[in-house]
Structure 1
């Protein structure tokens, strides 16, 4: 059975946020609460699969949300050339996860059928649901479909031996997490099924939500999929960079060996 390396590549951050931006139910809603933005890389020898793509400088300027580095630059320390990427798992079509699809022009995309229907259907008539999406990113996914380079999954689906996607929903209709076989066991990249450890472990939903029940049910699903609770990796939590060891550059952490700071992990899980 194959095992994969898992790298979290930070390309942006947002400060000036508060806990009320991250949790629907929180007594300390005015306290500062920063957010990190990641791309994830799964590696096995010379093979690499991307999980999400981040967003580029043009989108950063449009939204007034600067990035620390272009996603292509962020991936460079791992020796990944954008044109050589053959597969990208798109957890969902929000701008910060699908905003760089065009940067990897030769990749086949892996997407839940429900997510394409969501991003191109009646839900987008509502400003609050449309806000995290950008039409050009969705159109790029459609172009990839018509070029024969998009693979749909419905529920659970195998991308490669030891790499499985699972539908969660909640944050968006077709949100999927990624279960990866590693040396530490089955690791789950939650993406936005849990932006923060506090979402999943404290059962506090994130405010951007299309189906609250699916989001809440999804927290238990993440725990069932991972070999241990410490192998659930949230999509935007800065604590990830403290919990896992640094990779080949300061903005990269490696996750497949499992958490390294046991005291912090105990605090997170309590």
Structure 2
């Protein structure tokens, strides 16, 4: 296995293809997606994604979603397993060597076992948070599945978790950045593409409206960190909001072109300019 941590920093930036793969969905209303509710009693569904960043040299999967048992438990509609979605883009989950876990919530780490060759990139603060005192409280622990957290701990003892403390370059053209807020160790991913730096926000901003209007999702550890995080997302995107991709917004599937005609409604290209 090539150790990308040893990649020379002086190596030229690479350009990655980047995809959002929709694997699940659920209904919802605006009032449930904003702290303080919302004056408009209107539907606001939520989509669930995993992401793929690949160049000729490296393939990175960002997050591993959830499977059928958790979908049934939590009332989500599973459209396809994340590994199946990746397979539609000619990526064999069993051979993926690097998976970035934005945080350990059930919808971002749930099918990690489908990636038996991978090492998992995680923030120190997220593991500490998910195994520490705050998990005594339902307000913070409801987004986690205990078996998934303990499964990741087991992988630590197998030397399959790569820990990061804040910002870290994983390879030329791809880096992780701790934002926190939604969880204490939440990280986003910055990827160099043909259209410049693209920021995969994950849950640092669930919807476009969160970072555009400085509003906050209802599941949160530190509101101040969320708000400050929106500024950081813009900095990482070189000030261009069109290069920030939120973690759960169905508009992502509308704003970006399908990866192919056969993948309409399943996967979109994020390394090209949005359609609108």
Do the structures match in fold with TM over 0.5?
A: yes
Measured after TM superposition, the shift of residue 125 of structure 1 is: 0.2
Aligned length: 260
Measured after TM superposition, the shift of residue 139 of structure 1 is: 1.3
**2: CA distance, partners of 1:87 / 1:58:** 25
Q: Which runs of 5+ in 2 are unaligned?
A: 1-12
* 1:69 matches 2:80: yes
Q: Where does 1:42-191 land on structure 2 (aligned, <5 Å)? A: 42-45=53-56, 47-191=58-202
Aligned to 2:51: 40
User: Do the aligned partners of 2:242 and 2:274 also contact (CA within 8 Å) in 1?
Assistant: yes
Q: Which runs of 5+ in 1 are unaligned?
A: 262-270
Q: Where does 1:19-34 land on structure 2 (aligned, <5 Å)? A: 19-25=30-36, 27-34=38-45
Measured after TM superposition, the shift of residue 205 of structure 1 is: 0.6
Aligned to 2:21: 9
Aligned to 1:245: 257
User: Do the aligned partners of 1:168 and 1:174 also contact (CA within 8 Å) in 2?
Assistant: yes
User: Do the aligned partners of 2:169 and 2:176 also contact (CA within 8 Å) in 1?
Assistant: yes
**2: CA distance, partners of 1:32 / 1:182:** 34
* Aligned counterpart for 2:245 among listed residues 233, 247, 250: 233
User: Do the aligned partners of 1:25 and 1:204 also contact (CA within 8 Å) in 2?
Assistant: no
User: Do the aligned partners of 2:100 and 2:121 also contact (CA within 8 Å) in 1?
Assistant: yes
Aligned to 1:267: none
**SS in structure 2 opposite 1:256?**
coil
**2: CA distance, partners of 1:66 / 1:234:** 20
**SS in structure 2 opposite 1:245?**
coil
TM-score computed with the length of structure 2 as normaliser: 0.92
TM-score computed with the length of structure 1 as normaliser: 0.94
User: Do the aligned partners of 2:30 and 2:38 also contact (CA within 8 Å) in 1?
Assistant: no
